[in-house]
């Protein structure tokens, strides 16, 4: 048959488990516009692995617009009732196959965790994965960096942001090869793998890898993290508009919300002014101090908060700028190499399927004996199972990246309606809006304010 090709619709790096794929959405729109009359695919599960989605495409998209479908490797005729039923059955088995693989991977991962094996993915900073021994081994240079991070945090002179800034100033590459961020640092400071354990689904098991940190030091860091988190939570609830997310732009320390009785002890009239003051200058909490020489000064809370709201109002009328910032944040968070890796693994999987088919054909033609067939396909089956497990693992990472993209989309949506929301919001609701929109606020000695949109 001669085919006149209209276009190719290829979703490299995306799973067939749903229709939320860029080229799939383009295919649906083009089908609804009747730009072609047939959809040709290699195998049904490449179209979708869910029966519901397959039937939706057939009955609600293709059929109403006079578009037929054709598989390269499968035989069915959707113009007859039997053919439609056969297609539905194939869709059922495609979905069942994926669900079976997912369940098998889930059980295998649970058992691996119980045996203390590394759960896969990139090796954590401080370790290398030894494929021969199938375990993590210490990378001494990186392990020293991990120990330094824990030591620096325990000193109490710097928080997440301060350590991140110091690492970037020193030009030390992060585990992703890009600049350090607070998310990466928090993962290192809370990862129990450094104490020689494996954590899976909230349960911890003794690992078969060596520890980098003493458990006592790791526990001490967790206590300190909890204490500082409590300080932030209390400040957010009871303090000013940006309490908990405001930092000194000069030394990097947090700033506290402070009410000052200006005309003490006079009560008629009592004059109280609200300020944000750097912990380094305030000295009320020693471990929050970053620089004893910091003199950023007391900044009136009303002026700082007005400046923050002004910035958000400007963003609300310049969504293009917000979208650009969102793109930069996502570029920094999403590991695009994952998509390329998934695509490569899928190609390897396709190659294995072809090899299996060739050996089965050879057996049917009598070219090899049953013993030879079993010997040749066993290794391929094991490799296929391993690839399927790895693909599902990486797809989970991609899903998390997609969730971050959704978060940024929500931020953009809130900013579009910021003025209306702000006018109608109560004081507590306004604090909630700001804490959800912003990752941090910096206040400088000259009084100017910088804001950082949330990640």
Least confidently predicted of 145-159, 262-276, 385-399, 426-440: 385-399
Q: Return the beta strands (E) in 171-290 as ranges.
A: 197-200, 203-206, 246-248, 255-261, 272-278
Percent above pLDDT 70 for the chain: 75
What pLDDT does 330 receive?
A: 46
* CB 451 within 8 Å of CB 438: yes
The predicted structure's pLDDT at residue 406? 42
Phi, psi of 126 (to 5 degrees): 105, -15
Tell me the per-residue pLDDT of 56-83, one tens digit each, with 9 for 90 and over. Answer: 787 778 888 888 877 777 665 554 554 5
Tell me if 323 sits within 8 A of 296, measured CB to CB: no
243/117 Cα distance (integer angstroms): 42
Check: CB of residue 257 under 8 Å from CB of residue 274. Answer: yes
Partners of 248 in the beta sheet?
443
CA neighbours closer than 13 Å in the CB half-sphere of residue 21: 20
Half-sphere exposure of 161 (CA within 13 A, CB side): 17
**What pTM does this model have?**
0.39
pLDDT of 430 above 80: yes
284: how many CB neighbours lie within 10 A of its CB?
11
Q: What is the pLDDT of residue 143?
A: 93
The pLDDT value given to residue 334: 46
| Confidence at 99, pLDDT banded by 50, 70, 90 | low
User: pLDDT tens for residues 236-270?
Assistant: 444 688 888 899 999 999 898 988 887 777 777 88
3-state helix, strand, coil in the chain (%, to 5): 55, 10, 30
Please say if the pLDDT value at position 223 is more than 50. yes
Q: How many whole angstroms separate alpha carbon 52 and alpha carbon 178?
A: 41
Cβ atoms of residues 230 and 222 within 8 Å: no
Query: Which pLDDT score is estimated for 375?
Result: 76
User: What secondary structure does DSSP assign to 344-392, as a single string?
Assistant: HHHHHHHHHHHHHHHHHHHHHTTSS-HHHHHHHHHHHHHHHHHHHHHHH
DSSP assignment, residue 262?
T
Of 184, 194, 243, nearest to 222 by C-alpha is: 194
- Confidence class of residue 329 from pLDDT cuts 50, 70 and 90? very low
pLDDT at 327: 55
Alpha-carbon separation of residue 125 from 65, 83, 116, 145, 215 (angstroms):
53, 54, 18, 9, 18
């Amino acid at each position: 048959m001669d085919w006149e090709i209209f276009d190719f619709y290829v979703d490299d790096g995306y799973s067939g488990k749903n229709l939320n794929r860029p080229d799939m959405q383009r295919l649906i729109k083009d089908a609804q516009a009747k730009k072609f009359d047939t959809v040709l695919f290699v195998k049904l599960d490449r179209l979708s692995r869910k029966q519901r989605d397959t039937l939706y495409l057939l009955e609600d998209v293709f059929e109403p617009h006079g578009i037929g479908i054709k598989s390269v490797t499968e035989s069915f005729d959707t113009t007859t009732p039997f053919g439609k039923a056969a297609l539905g059955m194939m869709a059922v088995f495609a979905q069942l196959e994926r669900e079976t693989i997912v369940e098998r991977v889930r059980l295998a991962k649970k058992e691996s965790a119980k045996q203390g094996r590394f759960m896969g993915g990139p090796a954590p900073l401080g370790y290398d994965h030894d494929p021969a021994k199938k375990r993590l081994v210490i990378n001494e240079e990186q392990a020293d960096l991990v120990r330094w991070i824990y030591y620096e945090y325990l000193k109490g002179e710097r928080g997440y942001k301060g350590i991140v800034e110091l690492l970037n100033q020193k030009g030390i590459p992060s585990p992703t090869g890009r600049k350090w961020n607070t998310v990466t640092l928090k993962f290192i400071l809370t990862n129990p793998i450094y104490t020689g354990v494996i954590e899976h689904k909230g349960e911890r098991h003794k690992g078969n890898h060596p520890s980098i940190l003493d458990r006592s030091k790791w526990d001490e860091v967790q206590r300190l993290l909890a204490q500082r988190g409590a300080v932030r939570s209390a400040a957010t609830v009871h303090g000013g508009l940006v309490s908990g997310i405001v930092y000194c732009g000069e030394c990097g320390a947090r700033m506290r919300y402070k009410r000052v009785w200006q005309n003490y002890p006079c009560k008629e009239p009592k004059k109280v002014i609200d300020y944000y003051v750097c912990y380094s200058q305030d000295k009320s909490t020693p471990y929050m101090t970053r620089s004893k020489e910091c003199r950023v000064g007391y900044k009136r809370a009303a002026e700082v908060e007005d400046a923050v709201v002004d910035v958000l109002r400007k963003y609300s009328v310049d969504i293009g700028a917000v979208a650009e910032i969102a793109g930069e944040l996502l570029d920094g968070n999403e590991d695009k190499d994952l998509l390329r890796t998934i695509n490569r693994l899928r190609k390897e999987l396709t190659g294995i399927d072809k090899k299996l088919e060739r050996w089965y054909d050879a057996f049917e033609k009598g070219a090899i004996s049953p013993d030879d067939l079993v010997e040749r396909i066993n290794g391929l089956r094991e490799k296929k199972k391993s690839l399927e497990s790895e693909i599902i693992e990486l797809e989970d990472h991609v899903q998390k990246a997609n969730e971050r993209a959704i978060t940024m989309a929500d931020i953009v949506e809130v900013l579009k309606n910021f003025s209306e929301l702000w006018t109608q919001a109560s004081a507590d609701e306004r604090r909630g809006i700001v804490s959800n929109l912003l990752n941090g606020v910096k206040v400088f000695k000259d009084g100017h304010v910088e804001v950082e949109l949330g990640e």
